[in-house]
Amino acid sequence: MNKFFLKLISFIYPVTCSSCGADMDALSEKRVCADCEKSLPAIDGFVCRVCGVPLDDGGEHCFACRKNPKAYFFDELRSVYRYEGRARTLILKFKYSGRTYLTRGFGAAMAEKAEKEGFSKKADIVIPVPLNIIRRIKRGYNQAGLLAKETARILGIREDGGILRRKKITKPQFKLSKYERAENIRDSFFVSGNADIKGKNILLIDDIATTGATVSSCARALKKAGAKKVFVVTLARD
């Protein structure tokens, strides 16, 4: 019966691809057509084994991680897409234009990445990067929280968005230099007092990684509270 009504409603309000606008099946869980999904700039080649930055010329580590192997507090970071082209456009719609229905497809891609990298077998808890309260109120949702819930659901791992919290309101990271990002986000996160993550492996979820400063600061707080390892999956890498 529900399928019948969805089909009926689609005649009045057709389901279209969020990227190209082509008509889609009303029962499709993803809101990006197959052609557009294939054209998304997936990160499939060589990446730095620590920070996950694409290495177009090959290798195991980027220059920055070779120079300073302990620059980050997380253990490994991987991203699904490069933050460019159709992927960038879709993520901006998801993040700022209320296209929360994109969560299903994005979460599936992140779960697949976590499985491919072996994170899903090691992780005990899935945790999203928290959004500061002002941006949360303005936006109406935390995009990382939506991605974390969907990724955890697919992987069958417990998700808890109340473990990691922000203790100060910071400037938007995209406006800052690499050094300013690190300083801006330093000591911005803490673990809730009643959360027990000692000896646990954490799968940390965020939408975009640029310098890695935000997820590194989160990982620092998690490890300070006793987390054993922190693996990071982000939707895109800028």
Confidence of residue 180 (pLDDT cuts 50, 70, 90): low
Question: Phi and psi at residue 206, in whole multiples of 5°?
Answer: -145, 170
pLDDT over threshold 60, residue 156: yes
Q: What is the CA radius of gyration of the chain?
A: 18
pLDDT over threshold 90, residue 183: no
What's the mean pLDDT in 191-200?
A: 92
Of the candidates 199, 190, 188, 198, the one whose C-alpha atom is nearest the C-alpha of residue 162 is 190
pTM for the predicted model, two decimal places: 0.90
Percent of the chain past pLDDT 90, that is, above it, reads: 74
Burial pattern 189-212, b for ≥16 Cβ within 10 A else e, equals bbbeeebebeebbbbbbbbbbbbb
Look at the alpha carbons of 127, 129, 133, 136 in this order and tell me if their dihedral is positive or negative.
Answer: negative
HSE on the CB side for 94, CA within 13 Å? 29
What's the mean pLDDT in 205-224?
A: 96
Q: Would you state the pLDDT for residue 173?
A: 57
What's the mean pLDDT in 193-215?
A: 94
Domains and CATH numbers, the chain: 1-39 (no CATH), 40-237 (3.40.50.2020)
HSE on the CB side for 14, CA within 13 Å? 8
What's the mean pLDDT in 102-120?
A: 97
pLDDT over threshold 60, residue 29: yes
Of the candidates 82, 53, 181, 155, the one whose C-alpha atom is nearest the C-alpha of residue 91 is 82
What's the mean pLDDT in 132-152?
A: 94
CA separation for the pair 113, 80 (Å, rounded): 7
- Least confidently predicted of 20-24, 83-87, 118-122, 220-224: 20-24
Q: What does the mean pLDDT of the chain come to?
A: 90
